[in-house]
């Protein structure tokens, strides 16, 4: 697959997923610690995906800074009787720019399906919010060797009815379930293999130009020690970081990754 990180839309992206962590005061402490440590780099995008309760204060605190804010979920309807959900207009009003969609924890614990992932992604795109669409195989599928089939299916269904121009704006995060929160990170080669595979699926669904524009992230136990090696890989455009995003020193080091080309 073409190595084309020079495509402007493929600016490296490091996103922190705080998951169900950080009260408002804890969020503010983390954000304040982070802003001093994160380089004002123009060649990369930095995002923190805070819990819903902290989105308002975090977006306010980061206004005009080089860190953007993401949500961890987004509903497909603009409003209505959907207790516990959060809509695109609610997020855009706050200045939220990204939304994680289809994280494996939501698929596993909250009944998220490929159809709802697709509906959420389309709602985000419609509202001008960048969806970070998560895909990833279980340990069982990895061991059986059928992981690429799983990924193909997840990507195809997530992208259903998304037109080419919108597809190019999507971010896809490859997060093998067996590597999330386990400390068991995929090797650089395993990450690259699947990220390249995802780009191949996108090429078939759309075309090479569109596939080349999409940012594909790796997520799963990303650490300060592993980020530089990961970012060298031609099809890895960034990382979706869980545990290490909760520590300002670790996240800052990940954000400030260095590659030979940089
Ligand atoms: P960890 O980095 O804690 O493994 O979490 C990864 C993840 O799920 C990010 O969305």
The three state secondary structure string of 188-231 is: HHHHHHHHHHHHHHHHHHCCHHHHHHCEEEEECCCCHHHHHHHH
Task: Report the nearest atom of ligand 1 relative to the CA of 173.
Answer: 10
Burial grade of 82 (CB within 10 A; 0-12, 13-18, 19 or more): exposed
pLDDT, averaged in runs of 10, over the chain (262 residues): 65 97 98 89 92 98 96 98 98 98 96 98 98 96 95 98 97 96 88 98 98 97 96 97 98 93 54
Residue 188, CA distances (Å) to 19, 76, 210 in order: 24, 34, 24
Q: Which residue has the tokens 């690259």?
A: 192
Residue nearest ligand 1's atom 1 by CA = 242
Closest CA to 130 of 173, 160, 193: 173
Ligand 1 center to residue 230 CA distance, Å? 15
Tokens of 243: 């545990």
Question: 176 CA distance to ligand 1 centroid (A)?
Answer: 10
Q: How confident is the model at residue 1, as a pLDDT? A: 38
- Compute, in angstroms, the gap from residue 191 CA to the centroid of ligand 1: 14
User: What residues does 251 pair with on adjacent strands?
Assistant: none
CATH architecture of 5-255: Alpha-Beta Barrel (3.20)
Distance CA 228, CA 117 (A): 30
Catalytic residue numbers read 103, 175
The atom number, within ligand 1, closest to the CA of 245 reads: 2
Q: How far apart are CA 91 and CA 73, in angstroms?
A: 10
Distance CA 124, CA 145 (A): 33
Q: Whose CA is nearest to atom 7 of ligand 1?
A: 242
- Spatial separation of the C-alpha atoms in residues 262 and 258, rounded to whole Å: 6
Specify the 3-state DSSP secondary structure of 49: strand
- Report residues whose beta carbon is within 6 angstroms of any ligand 1 atom: 17, 103, 175, 180-181, 219-222, 240-244
Q: State the helix-helix crossing angle for 114-126 and 147-158, rounded to 10 degrees.
A: 40
The structure tokens listed for 216 are 């594909």
Which is nearest to 262 in space by CA: 11, 36, 15, 14?
Answer: 11
């Amino acid at each position: 697959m073409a190595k084309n990180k020079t495509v402007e839309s493929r600016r490296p992206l490091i996103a922190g997923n705080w998951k169900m962590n950080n009260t408002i005061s804890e969020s503010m402490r983390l954000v304040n610690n982070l802003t001093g440590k994160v380089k004002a780099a123009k060649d990369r995008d930095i995002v923190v995906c805070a819990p819903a309760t902290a989105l308002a204060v975090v977006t306010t605190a980061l206004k005009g800074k080089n860190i953007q804010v993401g949500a961890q979920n987004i509903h497909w309807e603009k409003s209505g009787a959907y207790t516990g959900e959060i809509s695109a207009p609610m997020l855009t009003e706050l200045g939220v720019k990204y939304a994680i969609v289809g994280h494996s924890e939501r698929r596993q614990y909250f009944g998220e399906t490929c159809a709802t992932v697709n509906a959420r992604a389309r709602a985000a795109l419609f509202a001008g919010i960048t969806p970070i669409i998560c895909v990833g195989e279980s340990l069982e599928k990895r061991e059986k060797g059928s992981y690429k089939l799983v990924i193909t299916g997840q990507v195809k269904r997530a992208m259903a009815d998304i037109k080419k121009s919108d597809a190019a704006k999507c971010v896809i995060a490859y997060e093998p379930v067996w590597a999330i929160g386990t400390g068991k990170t995929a090797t650089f080669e395993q990450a690259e293999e699947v990220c390249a595979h995802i780009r191949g699926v996108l090429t078939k669904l759309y075309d090479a130009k569109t596939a080349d524009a999409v940012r594909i992230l790796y997520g799963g136990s990303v650490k300060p020690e592993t980020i530089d090696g990961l970012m060298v890989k031609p099809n890895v455009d960034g990382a979706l970081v869980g545990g290490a995003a909760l520590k300002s020193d670790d996240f800052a080091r990940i954000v400030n990754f260095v590659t030979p080309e940089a």
